[in-house]
Structure 1
């Protein structure tokens, strides 16, 4: 605030210096010391304006940077807190890419709102000292335009919200289609998809026309005071001075008044242009608030990421016990890592119950396999552990697993990868430890893949990992989960996209006797249909129609007449067969690896080829690009725009020259041809305003 007030003070000292300087130049015997003092005053004023303006914009930029960073962090944190089914029509991508950027652009000018009022009041007072009652002309003009703009601002806000919603619809559709780009190309649907996205874009542009028309109207109204205010002011002043006071005005008075009128209209224009965007971003703040209300998790909940918090309703006993001290050996079944005791779980408030009467304890450091028919609720079971589902036993249908996300690593059926290198995807937020990293990469069967890549694990993963096979993406996501050293790992049918040899190799190195997860004493909960994975597990939980129908060791379940017995599961003694198959897999490449290696080589060759062909024109630019954009706008519109801009600038600048001629003539013979000079001055104002209107349109 202080730099902005200083900038206002230095700015409004200029009219006094202008008047004093003109009087000094016009005096017959000027004092040299007085002239040197004026030079020093001008230097001081402009240095003050430069310094105060720099400090003001520096502090404003810092404020905007903090605001933007805080809003992005808020939206990002909320996107992590929101359950998969809690999301509405507003997406985090749209908020970050559209709403927050609009807020940042507008809030940089926020302090101009109160500063404009102060500058308008000071300018009116100074103008009254120069032109008496004629100062009412620009004030009345300002009030009229402010009233009109206030009415337009309300409509602008509604139009902007409607436009942003259309932008969000297009972004949502584009994101979904890009996620399935491989399937779209395989089905020869690019043209259909292009037509669909073009339709979204067309509707977006059509909706934005209302907002743009209101924006142009605001711009036109903001240009009018610059041209009309001086003409209206001097018209009234001439009427008062000629017919009432019988006086004339001099050069110093004329140019001081012009400077004051400029200082009056400048904050008015700024205020007119700022108010609609400021009112418009209120809608953006409302959208962010609505997005934050999607979830019931409070950002002030200090226990959200703290282990051991079990403050739940009496009817629900859903908790996860993360080990605080040294891990107990595997043969200590009395300790449970996960305990689920609930009436059931469902995805949405009005949706059906997916999991019913869940009463289960999962042992610490044990490998638990969840199996059952298709659609029995296996993935939902893992989601209930993560807290993504609504627990029917909790009051207000709050999520069940808030405190324990910090101790869980999760791999979904659809792997999520960042647009970074393979190593960065595996490391994620963890630090690099070479020995542990190499062990994890080898255990996940990524060693052969990385050797075939020219840049190894420094290879960039394209958007959504399109240059990787499904098996490679799944194994990178698995490696990330293991590298994190979380005490609990949830794996959602990650072996379904791998061949038998790869499954044998990875399962032996991770879950088998002496596997990494065994040595790390990690609690593993995985969903699977693969027989050998179930054979390795310590406990198998059978889900059928959303209910737990069986839970026991593989050997015990084989003795019973149930789902596992019908599968024909065979147990390997001490996992010897699995270890042997893993050894064979490590020495001979699998069918999947062969295809993946071939695909990687093709991608590398393509990248090398693309890198050799560099278009020189892209570095230097080409005039044809500008010609293309001008032709798209229409040559008639471009020519008309050029003419009106030239006319607008000519009228604004030449009116000052005309005022100089008028004041000189008035000094020689007071009020001579006053109506001619005034009429041409008003003509410049009207023509300049019309030119500005046409230019803005």
Structure 2
């Protein structure tokens, strides 16, 4: 198809980067420079990294699938994943286990010793020792941050590898689907597989090792807790483990709901694709409102189940969050209730251990368990696709040209589709010359041609096809590219032959009318051509190919009489000496045929000379689909035009044009977009309630740390007074009362803050689901309300990408990102405010860090936004190429152009992978920069602790 734009891209800098540049992500700094100067475009992307190239990854996974098919007679997607990733993934998991064990054990120990120095009457840690512990803690944190980001990057690259390989395998499998399989595996389902279902493998790769390591991490931390708190440990962890059966039950529900939701997504995408392909007819008859309502109703059914999936995932996530808070609270409370006293060292040590465990409890465990249900649902869909019936004997569809005369022989051939006989005992021989097949609609004419192509397997009898076959489908198939590329379709260009084919198909006049001649870009399904032009380009492709057998399935019915007669006469001359099979309903052509085959209900009722046709046979009546339009612009009528105009069409120099290019916004997102987003969800009042609840919950959870530090401080003073025999009873009673009050306040704030946070998340999910529904409806109405110029300039692949991948992000990713952003922002501001309120030095330090964060965001966020837009736009060619290939699957198989199409798909996917990998690298680099700044802030705090007075240290040490 050759719709590629060949650009001499620069080598990926990661391939030549040194170790320091790799671990700090410095090798991507040139993208930062380009983004700072202006918009990042496709031209600026690097050539995809060698380990992420689609062709090599697709070949590797295809070999694995072939081995599984040979050994087990079926392909299991989970086995594909295990075999493809196992070795590397095991190494990663072992490394993660070792490193997390080091960080979990050493980091809390260093913090505990650092805090111990500031406890009253301690003699264990000297001033030199606290300096060592403080510096070691900051240094270990820096090492941990660098490790975590590089570990995350390696897993992201492994995810990209498998998803790229799986997309390539899905495309290759789609080219081999049998006609029966194509009838029930829709384009919408395949697009859904590579746009939505494929994301579960990203989550699986991301969380599987974390889940396994997390289980071991919980056991280690539980042991460390037990050393410090004794039996109280079991109370806290019992609360944690009680939710596991609930999480498993939720995973089962999610699996069932997700299966139904995915089926509705397939239906919606298939309906969208079919409507876009027929948009000209829909607009001609003003059916936009009807189809808009139909898609909206399908979307509503999809969202009913998807909303339930998200609610149950939300419940699972909320359980993890609530249990994490409750388990720590119960641990501390049980420890106190058992008659033990708290110290700053102990609480800080326990809280540090809990902080290491929090990500596993809140994110990894709940998400992993709920993700199991979604993964099983998607695995079932992939397994069903990969084990679908393939076309049999596809290598026989085109037989190499041999010296003998070409021939087609049917010997008692019978064809069945789903146990129904559609061709009944066919005996037929076709020799060089004009062979016309006629018959009523549904009599089996097209089926006979596809049987010759081996699209359908013979149930009985023998089919002999000798010679190379060329095929023109009944419904013209044109792919997004130039007219010239549609005609050549991978064949070598021969100017003399090419010009002759244009004359035979009466295309020379059309090309003279076009500004760019045969370099004119054709849209999906030839949407910017008339039906007659589509048929003639489709026919030109078939006869340009040097073949022995030409199968032309009703290619002349949509032409006006003058053009039809010209082409019919020219074809007889041009294809002289070849087997030329024409399906037609025009009786006048039968008289000029060398052999006429008449079919009825899957049987041949006549085969022989035109003169032998039964007198009682009547050609079927058809509506006149003739098309007198010869120009795609202006609809020029050709009734008075001489077809044999001897002037040649203009010769236009070939241009390297990206047919899938789409204009995208640059710069900031307009404020109106955010306003419309909020209005779609329920308005400013509703969203304000969500934000207030989030802020309140985050602020209360942050303030709980301050109350906890006060409680610990009071308990330490109570311990000192308890050891002092000369203590004042009134002072002791007052401190005991304040300690109890602080504990009750801590309890109240913890539960109220958690409740606010949970309510905000539930409301936010409902808010997001409303947005998804209304946004999709608005998109449909906007697309249907567009003029035809919009569809001429935007291919179906580009539009489908908006309705598949982008809608997926809005449905299932955006709400989490928005919620996390607000929570992190609130907690960061609350914590900084809390610390800053105690001492002016902390205030100045916090303000400097916060200003630096703002400036860094102002500089880097536009680059990230730019890369995100580029990531989305480069996905369109992948979806578009898949859609175009599936539309013309019979023609592709007849041409045997598998390798060309696979290479082009891999080319498009490499472009997307390059953009996506660049975005992921930027994200990890940005995160590392933020963590390094946090380490600097941490070092400043440690330094201030070391130099401040004793009273200030006791007050600040826990925070």
TM-score bracket for this pair, using the shorter chain length: 0.7 to 0.9
Q: CA deviation at 1:267?
A: 0.8
Q: CA deviation at 1:358?
A: 0.6
Instruction: Say if 1:160 and 1:208, in contact at 8 Å, map to a contact too.
Output: yes
Taking a change above 3 Å as real, the CA distance of residues 506 and 47 of structure 1, as seen in their structure-2 partners, is farther
Q: Which of 557, 560, 573 is 2:612 aligned to?
A: 560
Instruction: Say if 2:606 and 2:613, in contact at 8 Å, map to a contact too.
Output: no
Q: CA deviation at 1:382?
A: 0.9
Q: CA deviation at 1:68?
A: 2.4
Aligned length: 615
Return the alpha-carbon distance in structure 2 between the equivalents of residues 48 and 113 of structure 1.
Answer: 19
1:412 and 2:464 are equivalent in the alignment: no
Q: Which of 328, 341, 347 is 2:417 aligned to?
A: 347
Return the alpha-carbon distance in structure 2 between the equivalents of residues 344 and 446 of structure 1.
Answer: 39
Q: What's 2:378 paired with?
A: 284
Instruction: Say if 1:347 and 1:390, in contact at 8 Å, map to a contact too.
Output: no
Return the alpha-carbon distance in structure 2 between the equivalents of residues 56 and 404 of structure 1.
Answer: 57
Return the alpha-carbon distance in structure 2 between the equivalents of residues 223 and 406 of structure 1.
Answer: 69
Taking a change above 3 Å as real, the CA distance of residues 169 and 561 of structure 1, as seen in their structure-2 partners, is closer
C-alpha root-mean-square deviation of aligned residues, in Å? Answer: 3.6
Deviating more after overlay: 153-162 vs 368-377? 368-377
Matches within 5 A, 1:38-77: 39-40=135-136, 42-51=138-147, 53-77=148-172
Q: What's 1:4 paired with?
A: 96
Q: What's 2:389 paired with?
A: 295
Q: What's 2:6 paired with?
A: none
1:599 and 2:635 are equivalent in the alignment: yes
Return the alpha-carbon distance in structure 1 between the equivalents of residues 466 and 145 of structure 2.
Answer: 54
Return the alpha-carbon distance in structure 1 between the equivalents of residues 591 and 154 of structure 2.
Answer: 64
Return the alpha-carbon distance in structure 1 between the equivalents of residues 707 and 552 of structure 2.
Answer: 81
Q: Which of 460, 463, 470 is 1:393 aligned to?
A: 460
Q: CA deviation at 1:235?
A: 0.2
Instruction: Say if 1:228 and 1:689, in contact at 8 Å, map to a contact too.
Output: no
1:685 and 2:782 are equivalent in the alignment: no
1:628 and 2:676 are equivalent in the alignment: yes
Q: What's 1:358 paired with?
A: 426
Q: Which of 345, 348, 361 is 1:268 aligned to?
A: 361
Return the alpha-carbon distance in structure 2 between the equivalents of residues 233 and 434 of structure 1.
Answer: 84
1:306 and 2:370 are equivalent in the alignment: no
Matches within 5 A, 1:184-333: 184-240=282-338, 243=339, 247-269=340-362, 270-295=364-389, 304-307=393-396, 322-323=399-400, 325=402, 327-328=403-404, 332=405
Taking a change above 3 Å as real, the CA distance of residues 654 and 620 of structure 1, as seen in their structure-2 partners, is closer
SS of the residue 2:422 aligns to: strand
Return the alpha-carbon distance in structure 1 between the equivalents of residues 248 and 584 of structure 2.
Answer: 63
TM-score normalised to the size of structure 1?
0.78
Q: Which of 17, 21, 26 is 2:110 aligned to?
A: 17
Deviating more after overlay: 226-235 vs 486-495? 486-495
Q: CA deviation at 1:184?
A: 2.6
Q: CA deviation at 1:145?
A: 1.8
Return the alpha-carbon distance in structure 2 between the equivalents of residues 641 and 280 of structure 1.
Answer: 28
Residue deviations 1:310-364 (CA, integer Å, cap 9, x gap): xxxxxxxxxx782354x44xxx4xx53x332234224332x3x33221112333x
Q: What's 1:512 paired with?
A: 572
1:107 and 2:174 are equivalent in the alignment: no
Taking a change above 3 Å as real, the CA distance of residues 339 and 180 of structure 1, as seen in their structure-2 partners, is same
Return the alpha-carbon distance in structure 2 between the equivalents of residues 391 and 484 of structure 1.
Answer: 27
Q: What's 1:94 paired with?
A: 189
Q: CA deviation at 1:506?
A: 3.3
Q: CA deviation at 1:140?
A: 0.9
SS of the residue 2:557 aligns to: helix
SS of the residue 1:677 aligns to: helix
Taking a change above 3 Å as real, the CA distance of residues 211 and 375 of structure 1, as seen in their structure-2 partners, is closer
Q: Which of 588, 593, 602 is 1:546 aligned to?
A: 602
Q: CA deviation at 1:644?
A: 1.2
Return the alpha-carbon distance in structure 2 between the equivalents of residues 596 and 282 of structure 1.
Answer: 49
Return the alpha-carbon distance in structure 1 between the equivalents of residues 627 and 458 of structure 2.
Answer: 44
Q: Which of 450, 454, 463 is 2:524 aligned to?
A: 463
Return the alpha-carbon distance in structure 2 between the equivalents of residues 160 and 207 of structure 1.
Answer: 7
1:675 and 2:730 are equivalent in the alignment: no
Instruction: Say if 1:131 and 1:257, in contact at 8 Å, map to a contact too.
Output: no
Q: What's 2:446 paired with?
A: 379
Instruction: Say if 1:82 and 1:295, in contact at 8 Å, map to a contact too.
Output: yes
Q: Which of 459, 478, 481 is 2:539 aligned to?
A: 478
Return the alpha-carbon distance in structure 2 between the equivalents of residues 463 and 297 of structure 1.
Answer: 26
Instruction: Say if 1:354 and 1:377, in contact at 8 Å, map to a contact too.
Output: yes
Q: CA deviation at 1:690?
A: 0.4
Q: CA deviation at 1:456?
A: 3.2
Deviating more after overlay: 182-191 vs 36-45? 36-45
SS of the residue 1:355 aligns to: strand
Matches within 5 A, 1:487-506: 487-506=548-567
Q: What's 2:247 paired with?
A: 149
Instruction: Say if 1:250 and 1:663, in contact at 8 Å, map to a contact too.
Output: yes
Taking a change above 3 Å as real, the CA distance of residues 409 and 131 of structure 1, as seen in their structure-2 partners, is farther
Instruction: Say if 1:386 and 1:405, in contact at 8 Å, map to a contact too.
Output: no
Q: What's 1:607 paired with?
A: none
Taking a change above 3 Å as real, the CA distance of residues 101 and 619 of structure 1, as seen in their structure-2 partners, is same
Q: CA deviation at 1:437?
A: 4.7
TM-score normalised to the size of structure 2?
0.58
Taking a change above 3 Å as real, the CA distance of residues 565 and 159 of structure 1, as seen in their structure-2 partners, is closer
Return the alpha-carbon distance in structure 1 between the equivalents of residues 457 and 323 of structure 2.
Answer: 59
Q: CA deviation at 1:274?
A: 2.0
SS of the residue 1:284 aligns to: helix
Residue deviations 1:165-206 (CA, integer Å, cap 9, x gap): 222232333333333333333333222222222222222223
Return the alpha-carbon distance in structure 1 between the equivalents of residues 602 and 345 of structure 2.
Answer: 90
Residue deviations 1:93-148 (CA, integer Å, cap 9, x gap): 32432543332442342322212212221221222222222222331122112221
Instruction: Say if 2:480 and 2:523, in contact at 8 Å, map to a contact too.
Output: yes
Instruction: Say if 2:595 and 2:610, in contact at 8 Å, map to a contact too.
Output: no
Return the alpha-carbon distance in structure 2 between the equivalents of residues 624 and 646 of structure 1.
Answer: 24
Q: CA deviation at 1:640?
A: 1.6
Gaps of 5+ in 1: 299-303, 308-319, 395-399, 568-589, 602-613
Residue deviations 1:388-431 (CA, integer Å, cap 9, x gap): 4453317xxxxx98x99995443222112223333443344556
The structure having more radius of gyration, on CA atoms, is 1
Taking a change above 3 Å as real, the CA distance of residues 3 and 456 of structure 1, as seen in their structure-2 partners, is farther
Return the alpha-carbon distance in structure 1 between the equivalents of residues 353 and 209 of structure 2.
Answer: 22
- Greater RCO, CA 8 A, separation 6+: 2
Return the alpha-carbon distance in structure 2 between the equivalents of residues 623 and 185 of structure 1.
Answer: 33
Matches within 5 A, 1:112-191: 112-191=210-289
Deviating more after overlay: 686-695 vs 165-174? 165-174
Q: CA deviation at 1:151?
A: 1.1
SS of the residue 1:426 aligns to: helix
Q: CA deviation at 1:540?
A: 3.5
Return the alpha-carbon distance in structure 2 between the equivalents of residues 468 and 495 of structure 1.
Answer: 16
Return the alpha-carbon distance in structure 2 between the equivalents of residues 46 and 96 of structure 1.
Answer: 43
